[in-house]
Amino acid sequence: MMTSLCFISVFLFVFPSFASAALLFQGFNWESCNKAGGWYNFLQNSVSDIANAGVTHVWLPPPSQSVDVAPQGYLPGRLYDIDASKYGSQAELKSLIDAFHQRVSSGTSDDRLDWGPSFICKDDTDYSDGTGNPDTGLNYPPAPDIDHLDPRVQKELSDWMNWLKTEIGFDGWRFDYVIGYAPSIAKIYMDQTSPDFAVGEKWEDLSLGQNEDSHRGALKDWVQAAGGVVKAFDFTTKGVLNAAVQGELFRLKDSNGKPPGMIGLLPQNAVTFIDNHDTGSTQNKWPFPSDKVMQGYAYILTHPGVPSIFYDHFFDFGLKDEITKLVVIRNRNGINTSSSVNILASDSDLYMASIDDKIIMKIGPKMDLGNLVPSNYQLATSGNNYAVWEKK
């Protein structure tokens, strides 16, 4: 029977309770599965550093057995087989989750899933026997497109997800490749598992100067069609910011005077990020300019949305202290998913904004700021081409 699948790919988080505004940390990269001694054991050594940075949610890699060509876990087969993961054993995973729950906050095989050709979408002719429902999204060539309209598939996947919550300790989900299935499918699993937090990966092409509005509009539409509770990674902000820090900071203001990404439309459902295991790391599919990474964090950690910190930047780039300072300022001033943004300047070499009338931030090489920083503000932190002020 066929067990390797391309499905909703619920890849996962450890969630403490919310002591402050949500802050996500991606706790792995593309090479973490190759870590000697296991990634779960290795990450135990970093729990305190991550907690001290003010992180509220930690995103962990896919935990189940995966086919040999995908040791990172993104082509899972035996979903309940946690011991076969390249990141470590089930016991090591539970130990790591317990450590996060305790330290990050005070309170975030049988025939199941053994689906044959009749449980594959009928238009996936490489794997299906033609009796399943049509695919509700785009095809994913490396693996079968599971028929999520099938009641047994829905029940068994929901049972597995709830098992991950009750038995392993996870509290929420990352929905991978959401263009591969209808948003109504994500809503089904949201309704049947009630995660504390969930975010979807809707990564589509972005053409600067042409489709920013439709690009972020599609993110907003997906969130709403999926029930309005799930969040989405703000790929629009990612793409605009990538270009903006390279002498095009004027891009950070849309025609209505607001941020140009999803945070300018539906900030409470937007998860902002600089890089992840796909865009950066060794895959490097869409990397942020490496010498301007802190300008990126100065932007997302002062703006609305749920910011996400990437493991590589925090540890491997040596930016832990600088990033942590920005998080402290964010939390001290109560900047959150729905904070207001008043853009003060958006030129090629300077972007400045006031957030909630509590802090002012700038990125870009321009040093002559004129009268944009009032006398009742004082410098809170600064670095290479970025600075943040807060009221005295």
Residues annotated as catalytic are 176, 201
Backbone angles phi, psi at 347, to 5 degrees: -105, 175
List 347's β-bridge partners, or say none.
350
Element at 52 (helix H, strand E): helix 47-52
| CA–CA separation, 12 and 314 (whole Å) | 20
| CA–CA separation, 84 and 64 (whole Å) | 7
| CA–CA separation, 320 and 309 (whole Å) | 10
Q: Is residue 240 exposed (0-12), middle (13-18) or buried (19+ Cβ within 10 Å)? A: buried
Yes or no: say if 86 and 73 are a contact pair by the CB < 8 Å rule. Answer: yes
| CA–CA separation, 39 and 93 (whole Å) | 9
Query: How many Cβ atoms from other residues are within 10 Å of residue 329's Cβ?
Result: 21
DSSP letters along 67-118, please? Answer: -TT-TTTTSBS-TT--TT-TT--HHHHHHHHHHHHHHH------STT---GG
Reduced 3-state DSSP string for 191-245: HHHCCCEEEECCCCCCCCCCCHHHHHHHHHHHHHHCCCCCEEECHHHHHHHHHHC
Structure-token pair, residue 371:
């009268």
Yes or no: say if 46 and 315 are a contact pair by the CB < 8 Å rule. Answer: yes
Rg (CA), the chain: 21
